[in-house]
Amino acid sequence: MGNIRVGTCSWADETMIEAWYPTGLKNAAERLGYYAAHFDTAEVDSSSYGLPSERNAQLWVERTPAGFVFHVKAFAMMTRHAVRPQQLPAALRESHELELDRYGRVKHPKGALRQAVFDWFSSALAPLRRAGKLGVVLLQFPPYFVANRQNRDYLVWAAERLRPDPVAIEFRHFSWVEPEQWPRTLNLLADHGLSYVGVDVPRVEAKNALPPLTAATANIGYVRLSGRNAETWNARVSSAAERFKYLYAEEELQEWVEPLHELVEETETTYAMFNNCYRDYAPRNADQLKALLAASA
């Protein structure tokens, strides 16, 4: 398969624990060990909801073999999402003045707080960095983060705060990839060494449903497959697992074989990460894609 690595965007979703892991596994350490015996890369999505800790990062290092790679999703505030005060560590809540909107969320944090959040996040990843197990930091921007000058400037600013760690950018508004903007978007990412995140999402008419484009804008290629469940994509659902409840058919996975081979020819390593983390869907599809890629090599 060359330098294509396949994994899932969670290893600890409750429905995945119930459906995929053997019943004899007793704790988080055993589950991560089991996962790492099957895949050599994983995405940490819990860091989007709360800042990661150095202690947890050290445990991830200890519980996985040499060569295993973690990608870490940026905390919501880092990507212009509103957060609730309780999502911040107590030390940050107590040392910064928080301005809340009518829903009780910190929506427009002051510069000092935002910088402190970036510093905390980067410091927490130190064990992964030291062990050579840090892949990319994923900046997944919200659907209201449109292609304009202010947001381009913020994207560059945020990426600079994370250097020297590799950064991958996932857009969720069509304006970044519409024909007249697409070359400008690619140039922006390439000029700053940022990886474009290709996505597989439902084929629906919605600004937050981007087409399945790939592009090599840095030495790491990155693709996230979130399923094609059109019914739940923009619906109110009880959990992320419900939103991404979709099992790919083999012919749908086959659509990605050629684009991934092309992407890896222009990068040092390309990652294909399954975000349809409902029951055993993500690991099952990941295994299928690995087999398809190996057969076509």
Whether the per-residue pLDDT at 1 is higher than 60: the answer is no
Q: In the predicted model, what is the mean pLDDT of the chain? A: 95
pLDDT in tens, 177-235: 999 999 999 999 999 999 999 999 999 999 999 999 999 999 999 999 999 998 988 88
Whether the per-residue pLDDT at 2 is higher than 80: the answer is no
Q: Which residues 6+ apart lie within 8 Å of 284 measured at CB?
A: 20, 247
Any idea where the domains of the chain sit in the sequence? Answer: 4-81+111-296
Taking residues 139-147, report their average pLDDT: 97
Q: Which residues 6+ apart lie within 8 Å of 235 measured at CB?
A: 243
The amino acid sitting at 161 is: R
163 token code pair: 């250097």
What are phi and psi for residue 221, nearest 5 degrees?
-95, 150
Taking residues 164-172, report their average pLDDT: 98
Taking residues 27-47, report their average pLDDT: 97
The model carries a pTM of: 0.96
Residue 115 confidence (pLDDT) = 97
The CATH class given to the 4-81+111-296 domain equals alpha beta
